Structure 1
């Protein structure tokens, strides 16, 4: 993997997994959503431009990345930071904060933490193929950062 910052990797990952929709829609669990998976304050009928969506994505990924860093007690490699940011973006920071994944990471079990990602493939009790693919990719990204871990802080 080329040496990229966690932010560039995370933006690419989240945008690819979420996809871009400039008109609000109902996501698989019934939440009004727009752009690249943005949900806060969204109502059906809302519309945004591609430029607005890209700015919103950048702001949110930076925010989630900082929240992930603040909860991790170990330095993260760029791929780990990107994988966990993508994960937290999708499940929410509260779920990340309460996860076995974070407990394992903070206990120094970095491989075990990465291997927790594929467990998060259900939405309202339904296994979603898109989440299976996303978590597999996040896990692979996460594990790729373990061979030569360097800090992103």
Structure 2
């Protein structure tokens, strides 16, 4: 499966859309739609978009931010496609891509959400997502709000 256009729109809303690099609040230099700059990107001053090194010091264009997101998403989509052993509907898939995008692939692999999904314990997933509401070990209302939005997406309410 792939994230839907609806899911991409919600992810962009929840992550934010920034053409210039910024600190995400816990010390991670980020650009675009939640793209955490790698050490190589920081040292080179470029991001790889579709195989092209694009300088970001003066900011990215709207099209470049969209292309960067399009190049970032497959890693998370593939993680879900490879890790989930049950059928999901599009809203459920989109919610989990957003969740994985936010907490990272390693976090997703170790999450109770993945275990419950694979055990078809779909009713447990909202509580699993709610556990991920901290940034730097401290409760973060923005993350709590995001988890509630992901839950609404999971349930097909948005």
TM-score interval, smaller chain: 0.7 to 0.9
Q: TM-score, normalised by structure 1?
A: 0.84
Q: What is the aligned partner in structure 2 of residue 12 from structure 1?
A: 9
Q: What is the aligned partner in structure 2 of residue 70 from structure 1?
A: 82
Q: 1:98 aligns with which of 102, 107, 110?
A: 110
Distance (whole Å) between structure 2 residues aligned to residue 11 and residue 58 of structure 1: 9
Q: TM-score, normalised by structure 2?
A: 0.82
Distance (whole Å) between structure 1 residues aligned to residue 147 and residue 32 of structure 2: 21
Report the CA distance between 1:9 and its aligned residue.
2.5
Report the CA distance between 1:32 and its aligned residue.
0.6
Distance (whole Å) between structure 2 residues aligned to residue 7 and residue 28 of structure 1: 28
Query: RMSD over aligned Cα, in angstroms?
Result: 1.8
| Secondary structure in structure 2 of the residue aligned to 1:75 | coil
Q: 1:132 aligns with which of 139, 144, 154?
A: 144
Q: What is the aligned partner in structure 2 of residue 29 from structure 1?
A: 26
2:134–2:143 CA contact under 8 A, matched in 1: yes
Q: What is the aligned partner in structure 2 of residue 55 from structure 1?
A: 67
Alignment of 1:79 with 2:79, yes or no, is no
Q: Which runs of 5+ in 2 are unaligned?
A: 46-55
Q: Which runs of 5+ in 1 are unaligned?
A: 146-153
Q: 1:113 aligns with which of 109, 125, 149?
A: 125
Using CA pairs below 8 Å that are at least 6 residues apart, which structure has the higher relative contact order? 1
Report the CA distance between 1:26 and its aligned residue.
1.0
Distance (whole Å) between structure 1 residues aligned to residue 108 and residue 79 of structure 2: 10
- Hey, which bits of structure 1, 4+ residues long, moved more than 2 A? 40-47
| Secondary structure in structure 2 of the residue aligned to 1:84 | helix
Report the CA distance between 1:106 and its aligned residue.
0.7
1:7–1:62 CA contact under 8 A, matched in 2: no
**Count of matched residue positions in the alignment of Structure 1 and Structure 2:** 141
Distance (whole Å) between structure 2 residues aligned to residue 37 and residue 18 of structure 1: 6
Q: Which has a greater percent of strand?
A: 2
Q: What is the aligned partner in structure 2 of residue 148 from structure 1?
A: none
